[in-house]
Amino acid sequence: MVLLGIAPGMLDMARVFGTHQAQLVQTLPALLMIAGAASAGVFAERLGRRLTLIFFLLAYALGGGVGYFAGSVVPMLARRAVLGFAAGILTTTVYATVG
């Protein structure tokens, strides 16, 4: 079964991986988005805004695409962690660039 998002498959993930792991897959990106947003300034100042946007846009694309091939909960957690961290940095850097 191919899912387009995580939320529609939460019940199936809870049956396969367990309730706690399924909840962790759902909430981990939000936690790491906070960490990414807090550290976005460091990356933007050291690398420059343009290079930061390019690098973390690639990380966001890789984090989102690898989930299609994840067969267990560990790669799924890793890619969701990368996805959340990159989203936090991208959001903050884009707002700083546009502003």
User: What is the spatial distance between Cα 6 and Cα 25, in angstroms, rounded to a whole number?
Assistant: 8
Q: What digits encode the pLDDT tens for the residues 29-52? A: 899 999 999 999 999 999 999 999
pLDDT at residue 34, rounded to an integer: 94
Distances (CA, A) of 92 to 15, 44, 68, 79: 36, 10, 27, 20
**Distances, alpha carbon 85 to alpha carbons 13, 14, 88, 90, in Å:** 22, 24, 5, 9
pLDDT band at 6 (very low <50, low <70, confident <90, very high): low
Report pTM.
Answer: 0.83
Q: What is the mean pLDDT of residues 63-72?
A: 76
**Mean pLDDT confidence for 12-40:** 87
Tell me the percentage of the chain whose pLDDT exceeds 70.
Answer: 92
